[in-house]
Amino acid sequence: MIKRIITSSHWGAGLAQVEDDTLLAVSPHPDDPDPSRINDNWRDSLYGKARVQRPAVRKGYLENGPQSTDRRRGEEAFVEVSWDQALDLVAAELKRIHDSHGSSAIYGGSYGWASAGRFHHAQSQLKRFLAVAGGFVRSEGNYSYNAALVLMPHIVGQFREHVKQATRWRTVAADGNLVVMFGGVPLRNTQVSGGGIARHQVRDDLIACAEAGVKFVNFSPLKSDAVDAVNAEWLAPRPGSDTAIMMGLAHTCSIPDDHIDPRRSALFMARSVLRDIRDGGANACSTS
């Protein structure tokens, strides 16, 4: 008898079809208007030959310990071991590093979403463990939008607060006239969310904006980064010129006119920063 069980992942909700404790497939949830096909891969990811099912240790390390750093590293085989042996090896190595070099010699840098939900977040669990074990060195920010995390507090405010207050697509459809996109709004990126997605509705939201008369401009190397239905004007900038385009747009928008209220436009708050960048002043932002 096939059971259908509601499940969820980074790629959205679905119905797991299970027979005799074996997953047959994950079908789309009927309430999801634009489900991701990535959920179709669950069966293969569970039962495929590429899945790592047990801990494995580099052969040289298993035989000779941490002093095994010859040229075979990166070339030799990995040997499967039991969970008990793997845990003993990790515990012994952490103790050796702590005793010999201190906690500052341990970098807790695993990055990955792991399972949907916060408890199964791999990086959080790793850092909790290393903190309890005596401390570690961590990184700051992330590789996705670290520039925004660093720069925005000096210009318009904290990045995460602006994310919370982001304008909803239904508001754009009701009151907007123009959407300028850098890198477009590729639907492949809207399939996934760290805590999971209940309903994939960005495609419908974009189409609703276009049907309401909103114009789209897509600055991107790929025309396909904007869904065809919005009929976006495509402008492919030369590599490395996107920041200059953004600064030019910001400077133009910071010039008062009858259509912009300076008391309600965050761009006016950035005017002094833009001028410092132009003049090479002390407050100018630099890149390397």
Tokens 């396909």 belong to which residue? 224
**Tell me, what's the pLDDT at 253?**
72
Instruction: Indicate the pairing of strand 178-182 with strand 215-219.
Output: parallel
Can you name the CATH fold of 56-132? Rossmann fold (3.40.50)
**Tell me, what's the pLDDT at 250?**
77
Active site residues: 111, 113
Task: Give the tokens for residue 210.
Answer: 């276009």
Mark residue 153 as left, alpha or beta (left: phi above 0; alpha: psi -120 to 50; beta: remaining). alpha
pLDDT under 50: residue ranges of the chain: 264, 282-288
**Tell me, what's the pLDDT at 9?**
85
Alpha-carbon gap, residue 121 to 111, rounded angstroms: 9
**pTM to 2 decimal places:** 0.73
For residue 222, which phi and psi values (nearest 5 degrees)? Answer: -115, 120
Q: Give the DSSP H/E element, type plus range, for residue 23.
A: strand 22-28
**Tell me, what's the pLDDT at 148?**
84
Q: What is the pLDDT of residues 108-163, one digit of tens each?
A: 976 666 666 667 778 888 889 999 988 999 888 877 788 888 888 888 888 888 88
User: Are 29 and 201 a contacting pair, CB within 8 Å?
Assistant: no
DSSP string, 108-120: -------SSSSTT
**Tell me, what's the pLDDT at 284?**
43
Query: Which segments of the chain belong to CATH 3.40.50.740?
Result: 56-132
> Distance of alpha carbon 66 from its chain centroid, rounded?
34
